[in-house]
Amino acid sequence: MKIVFYRGDHPKKFNTQTFKRDPVGGTEFAAGYLAQVLGSRHDVYFVCQTPKEAKIDNIHWIPLDKPSPRNLKKAFQKIGPANTLVLVGGISNILESIDPPAKKIISWANGVSLKSNTINHLLEGKIAKVVCSTKYAKDAVLHNTIKRLPGKHKIRYFVNKKLRNNFKKKFTFICNGVNLELFKSYGQITQKPFKILYVGVFNEQKNPDKILKVFPEIKKRLPQAELHMCGSIKQYKEGAGDKTTGYFDGDDFFNRIKTYIYKKNGQQRSGLYLRGALSPKDLVYEMMSASLVVVNPQIENQESSCISALEAQAAGTAVLGGGASALSETIQDKKTGIVFTRQEDLALWAVKMLKNPEKIKKMGQQGHKRALKGFGWKTLAREWEELITALLHNEDYTPKMH
């Protein structure tokens, strides 16, 4: 099969070689690793802002500096007719500019709702399938799409049972995964007692200030506790940030949380380490050397998957996250980590887990086994192959839970 991935709206240049040194975003990592595995058995192309046109890791990388109609036509002329086009991130603006020569088009959504134009393209029949990263995300995307259907389509949806069932079949899910190659050193790195690692973007959605705010409470009960903050403020902004951390003094959110990070004399508070955006290799080391990974410290944020939670499990480290959203699937509560649903329980669970090293060690071991069994890209690539084959033959596809 010829499979094309498209991520032309992403502002940072990337390919699977840049993954080794630069953070780029969970959606891009997922698509790149999936394309790499599929490329070993199929003819795979990836259209994006990539450094150069080349075949790397079984993928034909096609550069697209600006997604103008002319550039898009030129890129897809190089590729020729394809079996499937996968719109990475669910952005479907491309369909307003050109008619890509693909038998089936898949919208690979990475949130809990679709853009208005994507819904229109779905109703027009341009998009054959919407693929989400968890069952929770699939149900949320379907629910939010139905709410936003134009009047006549909404009436037909609720009146016509056959149409309703067929529309629901357009939505499915395949879990996100991790690059298991990065975790081969599992068991060789010693976990540091009382080391907490936050992983995620510094923004209003993730709200890392929730863990920063309660850290003094954790430290009061566990004086040995350390909190290492990994991530960036504006993940894709380049050239203006501090070279070490990637943070921007002009960022309003970061300015607000400085009160938790720094004392009045400008020194960082005891036990707090601001690490910035790390390369995948360095981030895996930090995960493996931590006793606890915190991924979503506030209950209001609706996670659609959380690759960082999967990576923490692959690293063999217990993971703590908030909110009864997709984390209830990504983390096995009380087995590979804890999913808390009351904001006031964040500090309580962090302390409770760190005080029980044998328990969180067992959680980490169970998480590692789970990642090996169900979340490697080779396993998930087979599910994508099944989906694409079913789609091309107009057959139903049954998603799998892990």
CA within 13 Å, CB half, 153: 12
The CATH T-level fold of domain 180-374 is Rossmann fold (3.40.50)
Greatest Cα pair distance, the chain, in angstroms, is 67
pLDDT at site 149: 94
Stretch 41-52: mean pLDDT, rounded? Answer: 96
Q: Report in angstroms the alpha-carbon separations of 10 from 90, 103, 235, 347.
A: 12, 24, 11, 36
CA distance 2 to 39: 9
CATH superfamily of 2-177+376-392: Glycogen Phosphorylase B; (3.40.50.2000)
Give the tens place of pLDDT for each residue, 229-287: 998 654 434 444 444 444 444 467 777 777 888 887 878 889 999 887 888 899 999 99
Contacts of residues 90-93 at CB distance under 8 Å and 24 or more positions apart, as own/partner, are 90/114, 90/115, 90/118, 90/130, 91/9, 91/115, 91/118, 92/117, 92/118, 92/121, 92/126, 92/127, 93/9, 93/67, 93/117
CA distance 299 to 343: 6
Q: Report in angstroms the alpha-carbon separations of 117 from 94, 95, 120.
A: 10, 9, 5
* Domain boundaries, given as residue ranges, for the chain: 2-177+376-392, 180-374
Give the tens place of pLDDT for each residue, 194-210: 999 999 988 888 889 99
pLDDT at site 244: 40
Give the distance from CA 392 to its chain's centroid. Answer: 27
pLDDT at site 21: 84
CA distance 193 to 299: 26
Stretch 38-60: mean pLDDT, rounded? Answer: 97
Give the tens place of pLDDT for each residue, 58-72: 999 999 988 899 999
pLDDT at site 233: 57
Give the tens place of pLDDT for each residue, 97-136: 999 999 999 999 988 999 999 999 999 999 999 999 999 9
Q: Report in angstroms the alpha-carbon separations of 66 from 10, 11, 56, 191, 215.
A: 10, 9, 22, 45, 44
